[in-house]
Amino acid sequence: MPFLGQDWRSPGWRWVKTTDGWKRCEPFSPALEDGNSQLSDISPTVILTDDDDEEMYSTEDCEFATKKRKKDHCRNNTNSQCKSDFYREKWIYVHKESTRERHGYCTLGEAFNRLDFSSAVQDIRRFNYVVKLLQLIAKSQLTSLSGAAQKNYFNILDKIVRKVQEDQYNPRLIKDLLQDLSSTLCTLIRGVGKSVLVGNINIWICRLETILVWQQQLKNLQMNEQVNNGLTLSDLPLHMLNNILYRFSDGWDIITLGQVTPTLYMLSEDRQLWKKLCQYHFAEKQFCRHLILSEKGHIDWKLMYFALQKYYPIKEQYGDTLHFCRHCSILFWKDTGHPCTASDPNTCLMPVSPQHFIDLFKF
């Protein structure tokens, strides 16, 4: 399918429809050149015989016919030859208004596709980032999703649930996501006459039923017991176990690890550990407003952490995040990179939090 854009400098691209949406095909791939070379081996003059009448076609007509054969040949072999020649950019240009060079604007659904969130959930460094992003969308931006964005959203969610069921990775985080999503859907479905839901109401009811099934599956999830005759976590010395606990940035993770063995429970109740955690996430001015003292008159840092968490957002920490280039206005994964034209690209990079990502696509 040839497509001519609004940019007068563009010759147009060939686009192919796939399960992930429309993909741009490289116009001059080696596979196509091999096929075209075979078609080009045609004599510039063609003689057709019909009832003993010979008609000589000019070179210009023959070239036109040759070009048409090349076009038909490429069209017939698009699915088999062009799939490996897609531009697989893992970045997206973020623009909020139409210009003479760029028509329209990028959408949230397009960002899901171009940034390859489906593969990002398989990366342990990006998993928490993607889950947090889906959770924020479930709370505030669910009604603004287009039909394509809805499909991408629930496809990514399905892959997340499957990964948790197979690897038992961070089920608590997914349970919170599904709880927020089901609460939002219940509210929207009850007030369907007042809200704007893109798509048939029956589709959303089916999606809600699927979410309830996922919640039940995660509720019945059984952790696989690891059989290993080698060194285990309990065999590590106390100072190493203590260092592991000090690397956690989430209080619930510390509590969960403390339930494994009595030794870890003792280390997880250390006042200094919870004090460091409070100082990492919150400012000293916030401590004074919510002081909680223990029976001995000391500050109960553990209770203060959960009390402050209710009033103030905690500092987000991810293994890998999206980055935005202020020079090129391009959004991309940091380890993937992008074709930056700045003299010093590192000075133009800015990490993008999940909330900032949503703000970029608000119009």
- Domain check: are 272 and 215 in the same one? no
Q: Is residue 235 part of a domain?
A: no
- Edge-to-edge order in the sheet of strand 322-325: 91-93, 330-333, 322-325, 349-352
- The residues, any chain, with a CB within 8 Å of residue 322's CB and separated by 6 or more, are 115, 129, 331, 332, 333, 334, 351, 352, 357
- Domain check: are 264 and 302 in the same one? yes
* Six token digits for residue 291: 């002081």
Q: Which carries the bigger pLDDT value, residue 176 or residue 36?
A: 176
Label residue 80 by pLDDT band (50, 70, 90).
Answer: very low
Could you tell me which of 116, 231, 218 has the C-alpha nearest to residue 171?
A: 218
- Domain check: are 356 and 299 in the same one? no
Polymer length in residues for the chain: 363
- Domain check: are 187 and 274 in the same one? no
- Domain check: are 187 and 289 in the same one? no
Decide: 192 and 205 in contact? Cβ < 8 Å.
no
Q: Is the pLDDT of residue 59 over 60?
A: no
Q: Is the pLDDT of residue 216 over 60?
A: yes
Q: Specify the pLDDT at position 226.
A: 62
Label residue 213 by pLDDT band (50, 70, 90).
Answer: very high
Q: Is residue 160 part of a domain?
A: yes
| pLDDT tens digit sequence for 237-251 | 899 999 999 988 888
Q: Is residue 65 part of a domain?
A: no
Q: Tell me the pTM.
A: 0.65
Q: Is residue 40 part of a domain?
A: no
- Domain check: are 263 and 127 in the same one? no
Q: Is the pLDDT of residue 31 over 60?
A: no
Q: Is residue 289 part of a domain?
A: yes
Q: End-to-end distance of the chain based on CA atoms, in angstroms?
A: 30
Region 23-39: mean pLDDT is: 51
- Domain check: are 131 and 197 in the same one? yes
Decide: 180 and 136 in contact? Cβ < 8 Å.
no
- Domain check: are 119 and 254 in the same one? no
* Six token digits for residue 278: 């409070």
- Domain check: are 349 and 211 in the same one? yes
Label residue 276 by pLDDT band (50, 70, 90).
Answer: very high
- Domain check: are 206 and 262 in the same one? no
| pLDDT tens digit sequence for 111-153 | 887 888 888 888 888 898 999 999 999 888 888 788 888 888 9
Q: Is residue 30 part of a domain?
A: no
- Domain check: are 189 and 278 in the same one? no
Q: Is residue 341 part of a domain?
A: yes
Structural domain including 168 reads 104-221+318-360
| Distance, CA of 338 to CA of 328 (rounded, Å) | 9
Q: Is residue 28 part of a domain?
A: no
Decide: 15 and 1 in contact? Cβ < 8 Å.
yes
Split into its structural domains, the chain has a count of 2
Q: Is the pLDDT of residue 333 over 80?
A: yes
- Domain check: are 307 and 323 in the same one? no
